Amino acid sequence: MTGRPEVSSALRAALDAGPLATHQGPYFGEFGGRFVPEALIAALDELDTEYHKALTDPAFGRELARLHRTYTGRPSPLTEVPRFAAHVGEGVRVFLKREDLNHTGSHKINNVLGQALLVKRMGKKRVIAETGAGQHGVATATAAALMDLECTVYMGEEDTRRQALNVARMRLLGAEVVPVNIGTRTLKDAINEALRDWVANVETTHYLLGTVTGPHPFPEMVRDFHKVIGEEARAQLLEEIGRLPDAVAACVGGGSNAMGIFNAFLDDPGVRLFGFEAGGRGLSNGDHAARFSGGFPGVLHGARSYLLQDEDGQTVPSHSVSAGLDYPSVGPEHAWLHDLGRAEYRPVSDDEAMDAFRVLCRTEGIIPAIESAHALAGAVQLGREAREWSDEPVLLVNLSGRGDKDVATAATWFGLLDDKAVEVQ
């Protein structure tokens, strides 16, 4: 047994400087910042001020907690999955944090409700958002309907085709969905278009950014709206087994669900943190979204972080079977945790993720989002080394979303549609 993980001198220095869990922007080590047009600075300052005012206003906290209790369905359950764990490794216990059971089907609603309440406080009437798979767009359209806000969602044309059902969901909820038909026509280009809309309409419009990327204060604020995930899971595990987990695993696209579950454990160096990126079809051929394995520090969409870029600094298109992980950059706090050695980031291939997807369906009766299946596949990878950590290792995995939206992709992947079914479609 090797026991506790090593703590590097850089991590020791960071921990000594203050709790990691409450670290504030604009910088996370050498990452983060505000690389945006001057036109947006006044709005970012206003948001930063309003956000910190709200944090100290008990009425804001009460209202958000009430919405989470009565609308989101929090606390989300913690489920032990022994039949799945048997595939991870003998003697390993696996617990899933069930963000898939939230209203709208993923963790995204945590951040969206928080920001929507801020929008009301700022007196703005319109929100815009970007979306890849459609989960954040659906969550934003939902909050906009609930709080009577005008809502425009930008989505790459390619993604509107892949996720037609989510386009219909957003429109049912009253949102305008704008397909973006320039560049790679995916999430990255949807963010560009949302930023252009924001520059033009910033005085009346809030950009409801969906992950822990972007200019300050977004990475810090979105993390804070999601940290409830880890706080609940920590308390639930202590209640259930009387100790902290050996490791926490989450998938990392922009990185919001991972920051949400990591946050409550950042200052416990005995808890190993693992982020699983989209390894796609393989790192060697470039068809992936593994920023920490195949990227270098650079600036995209307002923040300095790890980035898939070519030798000129042009953004390189990413690939993943899961639209939600298909993004060439990653939140700056993850870049910092990576460099400090506080969290470890590893690629999971499309094949590994889809295998784990199927195992969870068949062993536990839970259909996960393909994004979350990357975290499950990560747990399977960890199974091999987990027995070196303790006699009965405990893995906490964030099941960030449910797989309803992915049924068509999975059915095609596994060849589940017979000819007749295809005809009916």
Partner 1 sequence: MTSVDVASPTGARLDRLRAEEGRAALVGYLPVGYPTVPGSIEAVRTMIDAGVDVVELGMPYTDPVMDGPVIQHAVDDALRGGVRVRDTLTAVEQLSGLGAPILVMTYWNLVLKYGVDAYARDLAAAGGAGLITPDLIPDEAGDWLEASDAHGLDRVFLVAPSSTPERLATTVAASRGFVYAASTMGVTGERATVGSRAEQLVADTRAAGAPHVCVGLGVSRPEQARQVAGYADGVIVGSAFVRALVDAETPAAGLDALAAVTAGLADGVRGAAR
- 285 vs 314 by CB, closer to partner 1: 314
Task: Please report whether residue 41 would count as binding partner 1 according to CB under 8 A.
Answer: yes
- 189 vs 333 by CB, closer to partner 1: 189
Using CB under 8 A, which residues numbered 312 to 331 contact partner 1? Answer: 312-315
Task: Please report whether residue 42 would count as binding partner 1 according to CB under 8 A.
Answer: yes
Total of chain residues touching partner 1, rule CB under 8 A? 36
Least Å distance, CB 28 to partner 1, is 14
Of 16-24, 195-203, 287-295, 381-389, the segment contacting partner 1 by CB under 8 A is: 195-203
Terminal-to-terminal C-alpha distance of the chain: 54
Task: Please report whether residue 36 would count as binding partner 1 according to CB under 8 A.
Answer: yes
Task: Please report whether residue 132 would count as binding partner 1 according to CB under 8 A.
Answer: no
Least Å distance, CB 316 to partner 1, is 8
Task: Please report whether residue 37 would count as binding partner 1 according to CB under 8 A.
Answer: yes
Residue 207: phi and psi, rounded to 5, are: -90, 110
Task: Please report whether residue 123 would count as binding partner 1 according to CB under 8 A.
Answer: no
Q: One of 97, 99, 106, 108 is an active-site residue; which one? A: 108
Write the interaction track for partner 1 spanning residues 286-305; mark x where CB under 8 A is met and - where it is not: ------------xxxxx---
Least Å distance, CB 283 to partner 1, is 20
Does the annotation count 99 as an active-site position? Answer: no
Does the annotation count 125 as an active-site position? Answer: no
Does the annotation count 108 as an active-site position? Answer: yes
- 305 vs 322 by CB, closer to partner 1: 305
Task: Please report whether residue 195 would count as binding partner 1 according to CB under 8 A.
Answer: yes
Least Å distance, CB 205 to partner 1, is 10
Query: Could you tell me if 237 and 95 are in contact, meaning their C-beta atoms sit under 8 angstroms apart?
Result: yes
- 24 vs 390 by CB, closer to partner 1: 24
Least Å distance, CB 70 to partner 1, is 37
- 78 vs 307 by CB, closer to partner 1: 307
Q: One of 130, 193, 232, 364 is an active-site residue; which one? A: 130
d(CA 406, CA 204): 35
Residue 55: phi and psi, rounded to 5, are: -60, -35
Q: One of 188, 305, 400, 405 is an active-site residue; which one? A: 400
Of 111-119, 152-160, 180-188, 389-397, the segment contacting partner 1 by CB under 8 A is: 180-188
315: CB partners within 8 A, 6+ apart: 188, 300, 307, 308, 309, 328
Among 16, 311, 391, 423, binds partner 1 (CB under 8 A): 311
Write the interaction track for partner 1 spanning residues 240-279; mark x where CB under 8 A is met and - where it is not: ----------------------------------------
Least Å distance, CB 175 to partner 1, is 22
- 43 vs 118 by CB, closer to partner 1: 43
Query: Could you tell me if 78 and 97 are in contact, meaning their C-beta atoms sit under 8 angstroms apart?
Result: yes
3-state SS track over the chain = CCCCCCCCHHHHHHHHCCCCCCCCCCEECCEEEEECCHHHHHHHHHHHHHHHHHHCCHHHHHHHHHHHHHHHCCCCCEEECHHHHHHHCCCCEEEEEEHHHCHHHECHHHHHHHHHHHHHHHCCCEEEEEECCCHHHHHHHHHHHHCCCEEEEEEEHHHHHHCHHHHHHHHHCCCEEEEECCCCCCHHHHHHHHHHHHHHHCCCEEECCCCCCCCCCHHHHHHHHHCHHHHHHHHHHHHHHCCCCCEEEEECCCCHHHHHHHHHHCCCCCCEEEEEEEEEEECCCCEEECHHHHCEEEEECEEEEEECECCCCCECCCCCCCHHHCCCECCHHHHHHHHHCCEEEEEEEHHHHHHHHHHHHHHHCCCECHHHHHHHHHHHHHHHHHCCCCCCCEEEEEECEECHHHHHHHHHHHCCCCHHHHHHC
Least Å distance, CB 199 to partner 1, is 6
Least Å distance, CB 45 to partner 1, is 8
Catalytic residue numbers read: 108, 130, 400
Contact residues for partner 1, defined by CB under 8 A = 33-43, 45, 182-183, 188-189, 192, 195-196, 199-203, 298-302, 307, 309, 311-315
